[in-house]
Amino acid sequence: MIDYGPLIRRWQGGELAPWAEQLPAQIAAGLAPERYGDLPRWLAALEDLPDLTPSARHLDRAQVGASLEPGLDANQRAALRATLQRLHPWRKGPFNLFGVDIDTEWRSDWKWARLQNHIDDLNGRRVLDVGCGSGYHCWRMAGAGAREVIGIDPTPLFVVQYWALQKYLQHPGVWVLPLGIQHVPANLQAFDSVFSMGVLYHRRSPMDHLQELRDCLRPGGQLILETLVIDGPLGATLVPEGRYARMGNVWFLPSPDTLMSWLRKLKFRDVALVDVSITRVEEQRQTEWMRFQSLADFLDPEDATRTIEGYPAPMRAVVTARAP
């Protein structure tokens, strides 16, 4: 079910050949059963998915997915749903496979709607999506015309979820690799567009992350960066002590002006703030497909403008910039 051979062969002999040489070892480490004890259980669910050939695939709508005419009967839908549920929790989406609604924790389609009119035309472009989860935005990028979309995410469950979706979406230009950005060869400069959404605040060194993103881009390529921010002037940055919204790995929350100044310091051009939005409990919430705590549990029950720790509630900015 999991086969990266076609991607590796396609990259051999081209500008991504240096990465193709490293990929087999990187993938083996990223999907090592001895490292991830639940991986055999997830792979078993992947193997148990029924063989279905879609009559249509949908990459350009809020619910990415596949459909079949005539549709599945109630028993077939129930069996497919139960197998997909074995890959719980589903974080980014939503998806619909043959009438089974995968109502993920995040309404990732809302994020896509906020940024899609501010990005370069993706038609024919090679795109990198850093921290892509199961690949929701990767398929939206392909639906917008990208010729090749490479998602990277070090969480093996999300990679298996991608393969479950890919079983039916069957897009030869969309791939999710079990890697972090540190595994991308240095100074690759091979991507026309690079997306980093919901990653920067998890990095101990935000400047290093921005440099890594720049080094993935061709000269003149576009960065699309989405991250947590705070209100404040140039220079304002929140470094939470302990947890932020019950997350232990949040390091830097800059003001939008501070974030843009970081990008300019790294020689990015045409830096622009295109959206600032408060994250609402309707956008990130508990569902049947993500039954753990979610945003409503991370906010002060007496004051939804603050986190449970007393920090400003999550607010996210989208910034675009161009590599020098």
> Taking a C-beta distance cutoff of 8 angstroms, is the pair 317, 273 a contact?
yes
Q: State percent of the chain over pLDDT 90.
A: 99
What pTM was estimated for this model as a whole?
0.97
* Residue among 249, 19, 260 nearest 126 (CA): 19
Domain ranges of the chain: 5-322
Q: How far is CA 311 from the centre of its chain?
A: 25
Confidence band of 186 (pLDDT split at 50, 70, 90)? very high
Q: How far is CA 72 from the centre of its chain?
A: 29
pLDDT digit string, tens, across residues 23-52: 999 999 999 999 999 999 999 999 999 999
Cα dist. 192→9, 256, 283, 317 in Å?
21, 24, 29, 22
* Residue among 29, 161, 58 nearest 151 (CA): 161
Q: Determine the pLDDT at residue 303.
A: 98
Q: Which fold has domain 5-322?
A: Rossmann fold (3.40.50)
3-state secondary structure of 168: helix
How far, in Å, CA of 156 to CA of 162, rounded?
A: 10
